[in-house]
Amino acid sequence: MIVKTVTKDDIQKALPSRKNTVTDELVQIINEAARDPEFQGESLLQTMTTYENVMLNNRASIKEFANAVKFCAYLMTLDDNFTEAFKKVFSYRDFVKERLDAEPGSVKYNELSSAASRYRRSKLVVELLTMSQAPLDIMFMGWRYKALGVLADVMTNGKLDRDKINAADKLLLHTASTTAKLEIDIGVKENSAVTNLAEQLAEVAVRQKKMLESGVTDLNTFGALKPKENIEEAEIV
């Protein structure tokens, strides 16, 4: 496959917010990535364009951003081996050059691994990884709640007590509350109706599991879920 060579003008047009900082070195970085068989997926420049807001929000230079995007891409191809990804991205640095052949477990390898781990936890990298996964989470959100509905149905109407208990266990697991908060530019928020549904399912699962374990097999005495008051429409910002 013939790979198109990216020019300085191409980069300036793709990333106008940083057009005055495009260097020959950056052009070389992008073109080398295009020729690397381990750099899978869309081109480095295309990925940088997609997540340009991450660069702007972190006030990163265009070179810092390019390296972070490469690092995230290598994490995918190297099964999340952040040390190897770090070595590939920063092989030009003296610190890395001096440790490229270090044996795992050695002092130099541990120094390299520690530096890679710190980079993996950097705000720029974390935000890139979060943003790259967010579209999938949103795409399958509807199916997620359909799956919860299936579990709730099995928990209530399953033929075997074992199946009902297993469904209740899984429902509890997947409706557990979380303190994690994901903020993304497109601004999709989970509405209160969904939150209330998850809370009610969890409450029902706990009660029904206890009754099943105590020998009660007719779970229809619980009745249907009742919507809570003050449910607002989903907010799209």
> What's the pLDDT score for residue 106?
95
**pTM for this model (two decimals):** 0.54
3-state secondary structure the chain: CCCCCCCHHHHHHHCHHHHHHCCHHHHHHHHHHHHCCCCCCCCHHHHHHHCHHHHHHCCCCHHHHHHHHHHHHHHHHCCCCHHHHHHHHCCCCHHHHCCCCCCCCCHHHHHHHHHHHHHHCCHHHHHHHHHHHHHHHHHCHHHHHHHHHHHHHHHHHCCCHHHHHHHHHHHHHHCCCCCCCCCCCCCECCCHHHHHHHHHHHHHHHHHHHHHHCCCCCHHHHCCCCCCCCCCCCCEC
Chunked mean pLDDT (size 10), the chain, 237 residues: 79 89 89 74 77 89 92 86 94 94 94 96 92 57 72 87 85 64 46 60 72 63 50 43
> What's the pLDDT score for residue 218?
57
> What's the pLDDT score for residue 159?
86
Token code pair at residue 223: 């009745």
> What's the pLDDT score for residue 38?
65
> What's the pLDDT score for residue 112?
96
> What's the pLDDT score for residue 49?
87
Angle (CA) 167-170-173 rounded to 5° is 150
> What's the pLDDT score for residue 196?
64
